[in-house]
Amino acid sequence: MKVKPLILLLLGCALIVLANLRWGLGILGWFAPVPFLHLLRNTRGWRIRLALFFALPAAWTLAVCKIITNHIPAVAALGYGIPIGIIFFLAFLAWDMLRKRRDDWRAVLAFPFIMVIAEWVQATFTPLGSWGSAAYTQLENLPVLQMASLFGIFGVSWVIYFTAATLEYAWAFPAGRRSWVTAAAVVAIAAHLFGYVRLSINPMADEKLIKVAAVGTDATFSGLPLPSNEEISTIEKGLFLRTKKAAEGGALLVVWNEGSTPVDCAHEAEFLQQTGKLASETQIDLVVAYIKPVHLEPLLYENKYVWFRPDGSVNHEYLKHEPVPGEPAKRGIAPMNVVNASFGKAGGAICYDYDFPRLAMRNTKLGVGIVALPSSDWLGIDPIHTQMATLRAIEGGYSIIRSTRMGLSAGIDPYGRIRGWLSSNESKDRILWVTLPAAQLETLYSKIHDLFVYVGIIFVLFVWIKTYRKNKQNTDKK
């Protein structure tokens, strides 16, 4: 059945909007690329390609609009939607150029690799991180997310893109439909079976479990104006009281929210002395996250945490390595640190840092078993931003305690299972206790890193070169 190009274009855009981000329907993620692939296969000329060039950024902008709430400016939808759409357009265009020269199983296999290469380029070389990855359409599908333990987030995306490519090929060529539908089913089922088996086997059953806590703040500021001195005093009093309560509840590690309180340069030394004393009195590892303004006009601050040991000493300070685009924060450049705590090796990062798999992998290389992740979200990305962090736990094989301001705080184990959660958007409680494994679980991805993507690059280049040589030989014969 022939479908009009406009229908395919609109259908593809609708699937992107419905499958991704807030209120996303994960099942649609498996089919979202199909209309665009079929559109490119059955049309010629630059007009349709130009329409796709505008349609993809428009669709992604609409998808991002679903998470624009509270104080987030609407222009942020354009800042993310347009570049993500353009990156994926270039990937579709690359596949289209290859398919025109070699329309067989190689083109089908090349498509998922081209798409994950595009995702990898975005996550590695742009400030957008991994937002827009096909893997994030499956945040409710824990079994298939276990593929991240093998090949990272890109392995999960590859399975989705391969399924879409084979289904589209079966649609285009009815003669071989059964074999291609079978191929799609085998890969998708195999990925799910792997996940079910991995989740049913618990090699960490004998590993040490520790109680950790996420302590929330009453602060609601976002940029200027900063809270008054009286308001700051109230905020800090609440943080100190909750930290003591968390320690009394048995927590060995307590993590504050990102930007729990502003601390100016003149009072930072006194503040750190007080928080160090708090850690010593409660005998806990305490991760104190706060904002330190450098100057107000224009606004520039340090988004940081300080890790205190149970004796009150400072283990290390950490500045956010990847500020959100538009965030007026100094970029951290120092190497990540490992904390040799009583319960094992621990590490940390701040919120948006963990949208970048390469940054999260640094903690894996340090051998940490648990990561403190002070974070700050908003209603539009609660709970999906915390769920996105589950992929970092699966990839790296460690637990995460994500302490989130204006969002979902959660304790995540190395299988990506959320063992405890508390949303500040739904509750006035400010303390989350959760028990987590403290040892690192070895994963294939922690050993090979992005080798799967590099293999994909080699395969795509190989197909391109073979196709070029074959076409050249045919031309020479003529």
- Residues (pLDDT < 50) of the chain are none
Are 126 and 235 members of one domain?
no
Are 184 and 142 members of one domain?
yes
Are 373 and 246 members of one domain?
yes
> Taking the CA of residue 296 as centre, how many other CA atoms within 13 Å lie in the half-sphere pointing to its CB?
7
Are 216 and 125 members of one domain?
no
Are 116 and 230 members of one domain?
no
Paired strand residues for 305: 289, 318
- The pTM (predicted TM-score) of the whole model is 0.94
Are 174 and 281 members of one domain?
no
Domain count, the chain: 2
- For the sheet with 370-376, list strands across it: 339-341, 344-348, 370-376, 399-405, 408-412, 418-423
For residues 59 and 132, give the distance between their C-alpha atoms in angstroms, rounded to a whole number.
Answer: 12
Are 282 and 350 members of one domain?
yes
Enumerate residues 6+ apart whose C-beta is below 8 A from 270: none
Residue keyed to tokens 């991240």? 148
| Range(s) of the domain holding residue 467 | 5-201+449-477
Are 29 and 107 members of one domain?
yes
Phi, psi of 380 (to 5 degrees): -65, -25
Are 145 and 294 members of one domain?
no
In angstroms, the Cα distances linking 254 to 10, 382, 418 are 48, 22, 17
Are 470 and 367 members of one domain?
no
Query: What is the secondary structure of 324-361 as a DSSP string?
Result: PTT--BPPP-SPP--EEETTEEEEE--GGGGG-HHHHH
For residue range 54-79, what is the model confidence (pLDDT) as tens digits?
A: 999 999 999 999 999 877 888 889 99
For residues 390 and 360, give the distance between their C-alpha atoms in angstroms, rounded to a whole number.
Answer: 11
Are 197 and 72 members of one domain?
yes
Q: Are 141 and 165 in contact, with CB atoms under 8 Å apart? A: no
What SS3 state is found at 249?
A: coil
CATH assignment at residue 260: 3.60.110.10
Q: Are 139 and 96 in contact, with CB atoms under 8 Å apart? A: no
Length of the chain: 478
What does the block give as tokens for 429? 């409680």
Q: Looking at residue 379, what DSSP letter applies?
A: G
Are 213 and 126 members of one domain?
no
For residues 362 and 337, give the distance between their C-alpha atoms in angstroms, rounded to a whole number.
Answer: 9
